[in-house]
Structure formats: C-alpha cells, structure tokens
Amino acid sequence: MAPPKGGGGGKKQATLGKFFGHPNGAKPAPSQQTKLSFATKPKDKKPTETAPVVVAKEEEEEEEVKAMPAKEDQNDDDVPTKTKKEADEDDEVKDIPAKEKKDGASISEGAKRGKKAIMDALGRMGVPQPEKVLVTDTKKRTRTAVPESKPPAKTLAANGKKDSVAVDDVEDVAPASKRPRRDRRQVIEDDEDDEIMDDAPPPAKAEVTEAVKPKSAATPKKKDTKPPKKAEKVEVEEATPETASEAEEDEDAEEEDIDDDEKPIVSAKARKTIQTVLTSKAKDPYPDWKPGEPVPYAALCKTFSLVELTTKRLIIMEHCSLFLRQVLRLTPDDLLPTVLLMINKLAPDYAGIELGIGESLIMKAIGETTGRSLAVIKQDQKEIGDLGLVAVKSRSTQPTMFKPKALTIQGVLKGLMGIATVSGNGAQGRKVDGIKKLLSAADANSTTGKVDITKDKGGPSEAKYLVRFLEGKLRLGLAERTVLVSLAQAMVAHEATQKGQVPSTADLEKGESILKTVYSELPSYDVIIPAMVKYGIMNLREHCKLRPGVPLKPMLAKPTKAITEVLDRFDGQTFTCEYKYDGERAQIHYVAKDAGEELSQSLPSATTEAGRGVASIFSRNSEDLSKKYPDILAKLHTWVKEDTKSFVLDCESVAWDVDEKKVLPFQQLMTRKKKDVKIDDVKVKVCVFAFDLLYLNGESIVEKSLRERRDLLVKSFQPVEGEFSFATSMNGQELEEIQVFLDESVKASCEGLMVKMLDGTESGYEPSKRSRNWLKIKKDYLSGIGDSLDLVVLGAYYGKGKRTSVYGAFLLACYNPISDTYETVCNIGTGFSEAVLEELHAALSETVIDRPKPFYAHSAGGQHQPDVWFEPRFVWEVKTADLTLSPRYKAGMKEGVDPSGEKGISLRFPRFIKIRDDKKPDEATSSRQVAEMYRKQESVTKSKGPAVDDDFEY
C-alpha cells in the first residue's frame, strides 16, 4: 500500500531515521566513505528540487549495513563481504571513463545485495516500501543538499556500533550530498602514508572544506575503522608507479640529503619506487645510441634538463638512475666520465685539478664562437644573469656552414681537462680556444632551431651546461650523494637484469650501503667505478679499501655549549678528552720503499721522498699540502719506528715557538707560504700533534675502537720535541676533572677539548661524518652561541673615514648544499685591523663581479645591496653574540625557523676571527647548521620548546 502524500512522507522519513539512529528524520550523509565504496558509485548529477531525501538515506543505509559485523545482521547471506578480487573489480570500474559506463556497470553485485538486505529488513519491520524511487536507475539518482550546520551522524541506536568511517582517520572527503564530479584526483591523508586516488571525488573547494572541518572537530576517533583501513591498503597495493611516486616525493624531498641514516620508512618507500621505475618497460628519455659507441653528451644534457625542472629528490634520483643504467647497458666504459661530469668534477679532489675560468674569458669565447660582440654578450648577461642561458641565446642565432661532429661525454671531459691543465705562455688564449672548440660543436644535432630560453629553463642545451661547468656551478640541485645513491641503484638493477632477475629492495639497500662505505674510505671514482664494473657492486669491498695516497674526508665533531651536555651524551659510556689544538688539520700518508705496497697518486710526481719511503700530506678538504710542509716530510723518518712500514695518520699541524716551547696562534701558521716552500726559507716552525691512526702496515683500522687505535699509534711512533707529539689526553669521567682539564688546555694555548667515545663499536672512525661520538668544547663555547661560523664573503661596502681607501664592511653568507646556493646571513665590520683590511681589499678586488650570481640568495631591497659583489671564494671564521630572525637575510628560510616563511636568520654583533684558507666555499657552515644553532639558543628553546635533534650533517 502506497503511503499517503504530504505528512506521510515525513512519517516515513522519521521511521527510517529511527531505524538508523536518527529519530528526528534525515540527517547529513555519513561524513566519509571508504575508497572501495567510492568505486561503485556512478557519476553524480546536480541535485534537483524534486529529488526525494530517501535516495540519500538509501545510500547512507547501504554504507551502514556494509560496516555492520556479520553477527549483527538478520541474514548472513544478504550482507556482502568484499574480497580482494571484488576490490580489484571495483578498481577496474574506477578506471572506466564516466561516459563509457553502462547502466548496469555502475553498481557492483555487493552493493545490490546490500540494497536487498535493506529492503528485507524494512519489510520485516513493517516499514512501507518507497514507490518507484528505489527502482529508478542509479544513473538518474539525485541528491538533496544537506545543510553544513548539521551535526555529524550519530551512532546506531540498535547495537551501539559507530559510523562506518571516522572523520579523523580520513580527511578532506566531501559529504555524500555534496560530492562533486568524479573526473579529478583526490589525496586522502592517512596516519602513515599519502595515497592518491585517480578517480575518487575531490573535496569541493571552499564549500566542502567548511562542511568537513566542524565534523572533524566534533567527531571523536572511531574504534571500528578497520574495514576501511583494509580497503585503503588494497588501494596502495594497486597503486601505479606514477601514483606512488607522487605520493612519496614531497615527503622524500624534505629528507635530502643531508642525513646519511634515513628514516627506514622513507628509504624503503624510495627504494620501492626506484625499483618500479628501473624495472618498467618505459623508454628512456634519450633514445638508445649504438652499443659500444661513446655516450652522446646530449644524453647527459637531457638528464640534466629533467633534473633542473624538479626539486623532488626522489624524481631526481629516478632520472639519474635510469640514465646511468642506460650507460651501463650500452657503453659501460663511459660510466666513469659520465659520473665525473654529473658531479661537476674532472678528477678527485686531491688531484687539485679545477677549471677556475673567469666570466670574462667565457664571455669572450661565446662572442668569438657566435659572432656576437662582447658588448652585446655583456648586456645579455646583465639582463639574463645566467651565462649558460646567454650561450643558448647566442648559439641559437648562429648560422652554420657545416654540421660539426656531435659532442660525446669522453670528448667533453678530455676538452675540459685540457682547458684546466693548460699553463705557460699564452695559456689564456689557449683556454679560450679550447672553450670555442667545445661551444662550436655544442647542440650539433639540435633540430629545434631558435631556443626560447624562458621555456623549461633553456631546455637540454649542451652549450648551457658546458658554460655552467666552466663556471664551476651546474645549479641543478644535484648533490654528489644523490649521484652516489643513483649509481648504486643503477648498478644493482643492471646486474640483476643480466641474470634475468628483478632487483629487490633489499639488494638496492645493500648496494647503496656498500658503495657509501667504500666511497667514505676511498673517495676516488677513478678507482671505484672500474672495480665495480669488473667485479660487481656486491664484491666491491674486497677490491676497494682504504689505501695510502687517497685521502679520506675526515671525521668531524659536534659542538657543545656545556660540559654537562658531554656527560649527558656519554652517560654510561667510557670516553676520553683531548686537547683541541688551534692549527691546520692534516692527514699524513706514508709507504716505506720495502713495504710491498705503493702510495697511490693522482698525478705523476705527486708524492715526495720522506726518509725510507714516500709520503703525502693532505688538508681536511683533500688538498695536497706536501709542498707547503716540506719540513714535516724531511723530519718524518725521525719519529716513525722501523717496523712501521705504512700508515695514514690524522693529526694537527700547529705553529710552534722553538724558544718558548709552546703552541703559537693559528694566525702565525697562516703566514707561511702555501706553495713551493723551501726548507731554508721556513720561518714559522710547525709541530705535528697526532690523535688518530687510520691505516697501519697494509691494514685499514678505522673499524677498531679508539682505545685500540690509540695503542697502535703509541707503539708505531716516537715523540720528538718540537716536531712530533701525541695529543694530550685524559680519561677522567667526572665533571670536575673535565673542567680542570679544559682550563689546562686553554693555558696551553689550545682552543678547548675534544671529547670522544673510547670503547665499543661506536668509537670507530667514521670518515666524512660529523658524529655525535666526537664532541668539542671550545673555551668561548661556554657562553652565548655554541660554535663559531665559517661564512663565505659575497660582497662589500665602501669604507668611510679611516676606511675610505678599503672596504669598510662585508656581506657574508652560509651555504645551502640542497639548493646549491649561498644564503646571506649578516653584514660584518668589526674584528679587523687596518693591516688586515688592506690585505682583504687587495685579495677581494681580484674577484669583483658586475652583479650577484644567480645562486646568491639575498635581499632584493636597494638599500641593502652591497657596493660590490665578489666571486664566492673566501671563507672567514666569525663569532657572534646570538642569532635572530630578520627579513633582510635569507639564511635558513627553508628550514622552517620562521612560521611565516618571510624571515631568515641573522647574526647579532658578528666579529671577524680569521680567514679559513683550509676550507672551500662549499664547506662553509650550512644553512641547516645555522638553523640548528638558532633553535638551540636558550631564548628560543624556552619560548618554543625543546630543540630539534642536531644529528644533521656528516
């Protein structure tokens, strides 16, 4: 019997509402839907005024019944339970375009059975069946809009069960009554992962957001959300590689590079994505060249262009891995030059080969190559600010009479090496000729004609990347560590493919770990890559070990502000304290002539005779200091015992007062000549203070405990007053003992103390890592900022008064290794003597440039601009009273120090300490270090809670 019109409709709604826990009639639709249930819904149409509310209720009822446990149902057979097979079918339905879906295909069999269960239940309770409305084709359904002010659906009155999905668990899903079109994507945020559903309905922009927010605040987290969770997991398993990549890349981009120990879940997700990409059948971005032929330089430039267009580390890694795998597959002999060009190097650091080409020479070469005048080139540079793009613009308008031979990676590396090593009379002219030769052949196979430099950042132009390489900055955001990981992934995938297997994520992880470890001990691609290609990445450790002649990147210490910090860190552990000498870090490599091994050398005659063998001395950034310290090598045999045949020694070379027999300040050491020093001309004597031994008699000992290494050090060398000594140490564990020892170190003209883990696996030597197992306490750390900063000089302001003829103040910056930029942090004008200012003026005047480099992050305000800009060449050590936020400076802006994102960190009352000749600009204090110093300040800690863990740099 049909229900009466008018009031009967309201009674019927009230009855339905009572059955589902809504005695007051229709309530808003359930706040959320499960993913799989979305897959069964048809495309919605706009709501009409005549649409009965029963339809919206029917869908709510359908979802409620599906969420009920089987034991609560009237009939077990009537309630559908989704299997994985049905979930897969639903996903297939989602992929069908809306216009192709037939009437019967829009509803799954499970949904139909759910509807039947509702009808049977209503019939048994005597509730009248709705007329025609429920029989209407589902494609023609319409929904009535539900007011936003309504409260969320309440619990079921009959059995106390909760709503089907909790708002807290899945956010940003529109109410049933307001679901927009289904042809867009929606991100559903879960507790653990970010998932993207291709066809799930997105929230309706502003309107839906307002509707959902009050529900999230009002609805407590539900207990029975397990069924939806399972559905979401199915969705993750079925996700395409593109979907997974997009979901993870935002999270992974923030983990850049910087922390060697990634969060396990991030690493696992990244490797899973890389595994999918490496095993896909998709074509490489650059077409295959003939196997065995040299790798085209254009292929590398295509990869560079793809990398330049993204900031996502995961995507950058994918591009690099795919290209390196293509090289391995087609021309494995070119893998070494390919990697060297990717990391913007011609040779290992210790070889000392750098291009160092100035802008004027490059502009001259561009002009002569393209037939444009130097004035026009300079004007373009002034307008564009990127010499690489200037080269692209100039090259694209150049007429050519014949097509030159295309550049190859081998040819480019050979040409650049020739430019870097040319010397003697007419060297400048020959350098320009070498650059012209490369630029003339650049983009030989390009078919694009005139290039729009505003599109895709100039595209994959060979000329652009050649010029940037000559400048020394590719500016891709491609860190060497990313290339290292990509190389490991490509190698693992290549080896697996050769065996007809699929690379597992476990193999990728193992390969990365092996390559990182090997490279930290033997940082030379010239040795590692040939061995890896020959023996395989899994066997690399057997063939590539620490060897004399190849300097390690030294282990570094973390700063502390109080002795109590040290005691907290080493609580329950044995540690040792050593004097921190104020000198230059040195690494001495030695091999006796009768040792049965050789001292590796990057260049002929790179080693020096030393007593009964040959030796080399390297700085902390792997520069060869052998010609700076001939006096050390001349006396080396006097403090090396006879049974010590080979070693790698970590030590500090310190200026020494022969008469007073004491340490002299660091500034005295810096007055020594840096090259071609003759022993007879040495005026400032040095004493070597050894504190660690890394290699002894053919064996690497970096994994031994510090106590064992120290014992071997004492057994292998003999002290000679004023020439060689062991670092003064003390193993006391009490605060008072450490305080007394610190005071003694200061009296001995030292900077403070080094505190190191003494026993256990954590006391091993960790190359290239700034470790928590080594802490440093300087005498001036104990008040104010915990550490001095090493900053790069970017610009200067003309002096006034007494400083009229020199620069009066300077603009300094820290280095951001992620974006490869220098971020301004302060102006400095104190701590300089008149003599120092004159020296700085003379040195800096040689590096003046017309305009700031594109990779300088600085304030755009005219009143803040320095009078002159410099090449980023000099590093200064600076002390400061404290750190503060300022809209004028850019340091740490990307580290989240300012919630508004408009202020960077600046130094208050900065004071010049000394020039750091032993540091390169990219070894300056990083922006993340500056941010951590800011967070650890007492004032910031008190106002913003505990500081973040400072395990940030290696």
Contact 489, 317 (CB under 8 A): yes
In this structure, are strands 186-189 and 752-757 parallel, antiparallel, or unpaired?
unpaired
Question: How far apart are the C-alpha atoms of 868 and 788, rounded to whole Å?
Answer: 26
- In order of 362, 393, 455, the CA distances from 126 in angstroms are 90, 81, 69
Block residue for tokens 């197992």: 773
Beta bridge partners of 197: 186
Residue 8: its H or E element: helix 7-19
Which is it for the CA torsion 591, 593, 596, 599, positive or negative?
positive
Q: Which amino acid is at 719?
A: P
Q: Which sign does the torsion angle of CA 288, 293, 296, 297 carry?
A: positive
Query: Six-digit token pair at 830?
Result: 């104190």
From first CA to last CA, the distance across the chain in angstroms is 80
Residue 229 among the catalytic residues: no
130: left (phi over 0), alpha (psi -120 to 50) or beta: beta
Q: Are strands 911-915 and 875-879 parallel, antiparallel or unpaired?
A: antiparallel
Cα distances from 785 to residues 506, 738, 891, in angstroms, run: 43, 20, 16
Query: Which single residue is written with the structure tokens 């230059």?
Result: 584
Q: What amino acid is encoded at 623 in this protein?
A: E
**Cα gap 606→349, rounded to integer Å:** 13
The answer to whether 911 and 885 are in contact (CB under 8 A) is no
Three-class secondary structure of residue 444 per DSSP: coil
Q: What CA–CA distance (Å, rounded) separates 202 from 213?
A: 15
Alpha helices in 186-261 (DSSP H): 205-218, 226-237, 241-253
Q: Burial level of 187, CB count in 10 A (0-12/13-18/19+)? A: middle
Q: Strand 608-610 vs strand 856-857: parallel, antiparallel, or unpaired?
A: unpaired
Residue 82 CA, chain-centre distance (Å), reads 42
Name residue 764's amino acid: G
818 Cβ contact partners less than 8 Å away, ≥ 6 residues apart: 256, 257, 258, 477, 479, 894
- Counting other chains too, the contacts that 9-13 makes at CB distance below 8 Å and 24 or more residues apart are 9/52, 12/54, 12/127, 12/128, 12/130, 13/53, 13/54, 13/57
Which tokens in the block code for residue 86? 């049905």
Contact yes or no for 878/892 (Cβ under 8 A):
no
Task: Taking each helix axis as running N to C, give the angle between helix 462-471 and helix 427-441, from 0 to 180 degrees, rounded to the nearest 10.
Answer: 150
Token digits of residue 342: 């990717």
Distance between CA atoms of residues 122 and 671, nearest Å: 96
Q: How far apart are CA 30 and CA 21, in angstroms?
A: 12
State the Cα–Cα distance between residues 802 and 120, nearest whole angstrom.
98
Question: Longest C-alpha distance within the chain, in Å?
Answer: 119
Amino acid at 337: P
Rounded-to-integer distance, Cα 622 and Cα 520, Å: 13
CA 283 to chain centroid, in Å, comes to 27
Given the residues 580, 704, 890, 894, the one annotated as active site: 580
What amino acid positions are annotated as catalytic residues? 580
